[in-house]
Structure 1
Amino acid sequence: MEYRVLGRSGLKVSEVSLGCWAIGGPSWRDGEAVGWSGNDDGASLEGLRRAYELGINHLDTADVYGDGHSERVIGEFLREVPRDKMIIATKVGWFRGTAPNAMQPIHIRHQLEQSLMNLGTDYVDLYYFHNANFGPDDRYLEEAADTVRQLQKEGKVRVIGQSAYSYADFMRVCPVTRPDVLQFHYNAFGNLFDRPETDLFRWAGEQNLGLVLFGPLAQGLLLDKFDPENPPRFGEGDVRASNQAYTRERLLDIRRKLQPVKERFGADVQDLVRVAIQYPLAKSANACVIPGFKNARQVESNASGAGRPLSAEDVRFVAEALQE
């Protein structure tokens, strides 16, 4: 396993870390599915143990993942390993309970205390604002930032992070939240975060910010693991059920685009895992990726993509093949 320092945060993490959304299981928010089906807590724990054996030291979760279930599974695992050997990240911002907004300061404090209880620890290494929704006209933005900085002074949070879903949102809130780590969606399909006018990698590099990139495997789409003639069906409470990428037409299009990638790097799933893992890592020396998992086999598959970087020419080739 190779390791990266997340910029000015100083956190040293495995370049392939783990996203723990899927092990939270099925869940809903405001009537919409926001979880994953097909999880098993025993398999999840075996996956976490295998990750530790392979040198993966950074786990990323959130209060909303299974409404705390992901945190509680990680809490079980943390009873088995030295706490100081793991970098644990969680988030606040999507689960609002009875608060008018999830970023209401008293709610943030409550949620962190609940997350600490779920995780069985007295601090988190990295605490994110999960989105940029701080209420109408950013009503809670300044107070929320002050609250998390106070929690940092109390020793309950080591590093503050900001997750968001658009360049404009990052530019709006980061001057106030002052994060040391950013988290956003990025993979070899590319998106607005790598475009000249909205290049978040360049901006983060100028600030020496750490980057945690989720969705590197595009929920399996970059691995050509789904049969276009028999598109997958997902269970109740699974966020993928409403994703139009799993239609026959889209799966056929992805398969066509992946063909030159297979010819260059190999057609085996693990060849594609390596490309999918290393493409986003090539964007910044301060970045790690957090692919999801449900079991030890998937952890091993993810970890196999570490330590095998792509050349600059390889990166250009993949972008030309996969991006519109």
Structure 2
Amino acid sequence: MRYRELGKTGLKVSEISLGCWAIGGPSWRDGEPVGWSGNNDEESMAGLRKAIEMGINHLDTADVYGDGHSERLIGQLLKEVPRDRLIIASKVGWFKGTAPHAMHPLQIRHQLEQTLSNLGTDYVDLYYFHNANFGPNDCYLEEAAELLRQFKKEGKILHIGQSAYNYADFMRVLPVTQPDVLQFSYSALGSEYDQEETNLFRWADERNLGMVLFQPYQQGLMLDKFDPDNPPQFGEGDIRASNGRFTRENLLDIREKLKPIKERFGSDTQSLAGVAAQYALAQSKHACVIPGFKNARQVESNAKASETTLSAEDVAFVKKAMQG
């Protein structure tokens, strides 16, 4: 396993870290599925233990992942592993409870305390605003940002993070939240963050900010896991059930794009995982990736992606194949 410094935080994280959304299991928000089906707690715990064995030291979770279930599983792990061996990140902003809004300051305070209780620890290394929705006209933005700075003073969080889903949202809230780390989706399929005017990697590098990249495999699409002639069916409470990317047409399109990748690097899942992870990591020396998992086998495959090395020529080849 290779390690990277997460920008100015000084945190040395495994370049392949773990996203712990899927192990939270099925869940809903406002009647819409926001979790994952097909999880098993024993297999999840085996995966977390495998992560330690493979040198993974950074686990990323959130209050909304299984409504605290993901956090509680990590809490079980923390009973077995010294706290200072792990870098734990959690988030607030999607689960509003009985508050008028998830970013209401009282709700944020409550959720942090609940997160710490779920994890069985008195601090988290990294605490994110899970999105850039701070209420109508950003009415909770300034108070929420000041609250996280207060949490730092209290020693309950060590570093502040900001997650968002597009460049404009980042630019709107970053001057106020002033995070140490950004989290966003990124893969070889490309995004607006590749464009000159919205290059978030360059923007963050200039400010020595860490970057945590989720969905480097695009929920398995980059690994060619699914049969286009028999598109996957997902269980209740699974966010992928409402995702239009798992259609026969899209699966065929991605499979076609992957053909030259397979010819150059190998067609097995492990080879594709290594290419997908390392392509994302190549965008910045301050970035790590957090692919998800449900079991020890998937964790081992994720970790072994650290053994893949891509040259600058390889990175350019992957970009041309996947993005044209």
> TM-score, normalized by length of structure 2?
0.99
In the alignment, which residue of structure 1 is the partner of 2:130? Answer: 130
In the alignment, which residue of structure 2 is the partner of 1:246? Answer: 246
Residues 201-212 of structure 1 mapped to structure 2, 5 A cutoff: 201-212=201-212
Q: Deviations over 1:52-83 (max 9, x none)?
A: 01100000000000000000011011100000
**Shift of the alpha carbon at 1:308?**
2.3
1:300 aligns with 2:270: no
CA separation in 1, counterparts of 2:242 and 2:59? Answer: 26
In the alignment, which residue of structure 2 is the partner of 1:309? Answer: 309
User: Could you tell me which amino acid in structure 1 is paired with residue 138 of structure 2?
Assistant: D
**Shift of the alpha carbon at 1:217?**
0.7
Q: Deviations over 1:85-121 (max 9, x none)?
A: 0000000000011111111111111000000000000
Q: Secondary structure at the match of 2:184?
A: strand
Matched length: 324
Task: Check whether the contact 1:282–1:309 (CA below 8 A) recurs between aligned residues.
Answer: no
**Shift of the alpha carbon at 1:289?**
0.1
CA separation in 2, counterparts of 1:13 and 1:225? Answer: 28
Q: Secondary structure at the match of 2:183?
A: strand
Q: Could you tell which deviates more after superposition, 266-275 or 287-296? A: 266-275
CA separation in 2, counterparts of 1:78 and 1:42? Answer: 15
**Shift of the alpha carbon at 1:193?**
1.1
User: Could you tell me which amino acid in structure 2 is paired with residue 84 of structure 1?
Assistant: D
**Shift of the alpha carbon at 1:221?**
0.4
In the alignment, which residue of structure 2 is the partner of 1:196? Answer: 196
Task: Check whether the contact 1:47–1:294 (CA below 8 A) recurs between aligned residues.
Answer: yes
Task: Check whether the contact 1:61–1:71 (CA below 8 A) recurs between aligned residues.
Answer: yes
In the alignment, which residue of structure 2 is the partner of 1:27? Answer: 27
Residues 78-227 of structure 1 mapped to structure 2, 5 A cutoff: 78-227=78-227
Q: Could you tell which deviates more after superposition, 278-287 or 99-108? A: 99-108
**Shift of the alpha carbon at 1:309?**
2.5
Residues 217-296 of structure 1 mapped to structure 2, 5 A cutoff: 217-296=217-296
Q: Secondary structure at the match of 1:151?
A: helix
Q: Deviations over 1:119-174 (max 9, x none)?
A: 00000000000000011111011100110100110000000000001111111111
Moved over 2 A (4+): none
Task: Check whether the contact 2:274–2:307 (CA below 8 A) recurs between aligned residues.
Answer: no
In the alignment, which residue of structure 1 is the partner of 2:17? Answer: 17
Q: Secondary structure at the match of 1:159?
A: strand
Q: Secondary structure at the match of 1:126?
A: strand
User: Could you tell me which amino acid in structure 2 is paired with residue 284 of structure 1?
Assistant: S
Residues 34-73 of structure 1 mapped to structure 2, 5 A cutoff: 34-73=34-73
CA separation in 1, counterparts of 2:225 and 2:157? Answer: 39
CA separation in 2, counterparts of 1:146 and 1:44? Answer: 35
CA separation in 1, counterparts of 2:148 and 2:248? Answer: 45
